[in-house]
Amino acid sequence: QNQHLIQEFGLHPSLEELPALILVRGSVKDAVRFVGIPDPVARKPPDWSDEEDGDWEPPMLLEKNADILARWLRLNGVYIPSSGTIFELDEMVQRYLKHGLLADFTAAQELAGGKYKDEVQAPIYLKLLEKVKSQSKGSEYVRKELNRLDRVLEGHLSPEKRKEIDEKRTILESLQKLPEL
């Protein structure tokens, strides 16, 4: 029944290739097929030599679960909120990062302390807002903080601390990938 789609996307109608996940934005010729994503937490081994071992590439994540598919969509320019984030707060903080308006800052604080007060991520948003406000560097702070957390994650951390840093990174990454408001 979907033979025309199989032909249109150049798929082989074998069971190995189907079902296929294909993102179409605009024309069919620009469609992107899901073939996995590079593991975002994989790090180049310290003893890896590009000259000896060749260019290092992170392993591919091929499983088709919600987190991986959401990351794949984000990599292809489709905004999907990350699990572990609060979309409404993402938008509010992004507006504050872009415009620096006190009204956006206050509204985000009220959401985090009110509607989302029982969410684990809410205090992270509040702390992030305070840091951005005190440093007046907006998006630059997000980028620098992500780099700093990457360096921290390279060290030895307790599972609890690693989880805390991962939660903060997830929120920072989602802010970095939000479309301009």
Q: What is the pLDDT of residue 142?
A: 81
Dump strand ranges (E) for 15-174.
22-23, 32-33, 37-38, 60-61
Output 104 or 19, whichever has higher pLDDT. Answer: 104
**pLDDT at residue 155 above 80?**
yes
Q: How far does CA 181 lie from the centroid of its chain?
A: 17
pLDDT in tens, 100-153: 788 888 888 888 888 888 988 888 888 888 887 777 666 677 888 888 998 898
Long-range contacts of 17-22 (CB under 8 A, 24+ apart): 21/64, 21/69
DSSP-derived secondary structure letter, 120: T
Instruction: Please give the share of the chain, as a percent, with pLDDT higher than 90.
Output: 3
Q: Average pLDDT, stretch 155-170?
A: 87
Q: Which amino acid is at 7?
A: Q
Q: What is the pLDDT of residue 178?
A: 52
DSSP-derived secondary structure letter, 20: -
Output 114 or 99, whichever has higher pLDDT. Answer: 114
55: pLDDT confidence band, cut at 50, 70 and 90?
very high
Residues 37 and 76: beta-carbon distance below 8 Å = no
CA–CA distances in Å: residue 54 to residues 8, 42, 61, 161: 36, 17, 21, 34
**pLDDT at residue 181 above 60?**
no
Whole-number mean pLDDT of the chain? Answer: 81
Q: Average pLDDT, stretch 51-55?
A: 91
**pLDDT at residue 180 above 60?**
no
Give the residue from 22, 26, 27 showing the smallest Cα distance to 72. Answer: 22
Burial 132-170 (b: 16+ CB within 10 A, else e): bbeeeebeebbeebeeebeeeeeeeeeeeeeeebeebbb
Token look-up 């999907």 returns 80
